[in-house]
Amino acid sequence: DIQMTQSPSAMSASVGDRVTITCRASQGINNGLDWFQQKPGKVPKRLIYAASSLQSGVPSRFSGSGSGTEFTLTISTLQPEDFATYYCLRHNTYPLTFGGGTKVEIK
Amino acid sequence: EVQLVESGGGLVQPGGSLRLSCAASGFSLSDHFMDWVRQAPEGGLEWVGRSRNKVNSYTTEYAASVKGRFSISRDDSKNSVYLQMNSLKTEDTAVYYCTIAASIGGYHYAMDVWGHGTTVTVSS
């Protein structure tokens, strides 16, 4: 199975900061990667699909990049409502696999 | 309004069985790929399995951790999908989510819409 390594597992940041989260695949996955956001007690929500396409309704401060084995989620200017846990999801082959998650906390 | 509502969770002993249901409203479930996803207490997300849409004969895929124990089925007349869980283990304890994929450009992007989840606790 293809393994996904997400980093960092947690981070502290301030409102207005630029935040970058990375997922690395153990082998190439083309653009078969999505990003999800989950707030405490809430259902996950997709932010990015196909590595870099913004889900409808998601603010433009969120962006995704990468292809092959390394992928990045960037929040250009962190807002108070962005404090949450973020997951990558690899879906180019079965089994689908999530990264371990990145918890973004308030500094 | 597009909605998924799970039910059937509860407390079960190790080795027992449980069937989760997911009822869809606002759309025809048969048109969509669907995935079950679970989240252990204070844990991350784990894909459980997939049922492709009617056009693809409702064929299924499963995670290695549940293969042979869990199965996904559908009932078009009830616009519902089910997750039959047998030989349950303590490590199956989690919130189970029903999700549907969005078809974009002919590709089915998983987990576009989520239910609220149903909690399964496996304990003696």
What are the tens digits of pLDDT across the range B60-102?
A: 999 999 999 999 999 999 999 999 999 999 999 999 999 999 8
pLDDT at B24 over 90: yes
CA distance B29 to chain A (A): 20
pLDDT at A1 over 90: no
Distances (CA, A) of B78 to A57, B30, B32, B81: 31, 10, 15, 9
Would you call A96 and B35 a contact, using CB atoms and an 8 Å cutoff? yes
Q: Report the distance separating Cα B93 and Cα B56, nearest Å.
A: 31
Would you call B111 and A1 a contact, using CB atoms and an 8 Å cutoff? no
Q: How many CA atoms lie within 13 A of B41 on its CB side?
A: 7
Q: Report the distance separating Cα B50 and Cα A97, nearest Å.
A: 13
Is any Cβ of chain A less than 8 angstroms from the Cβ of B117? yes
Is B61:A95 a contact under the CB 8 Å cutoff? yes
Distances (CA, A) of B104 to A37, A74, B67: 20, 23, 28
Question: pLDDT tens, B38-52?
Answer: 999 999 999 999 999
Q: Which residues of B touch A1 (CB under 8 A)?
A: 64
| Candidates A43, A86, A98, partner chain B, best to mutate (most B CBs within 10 A) | A43
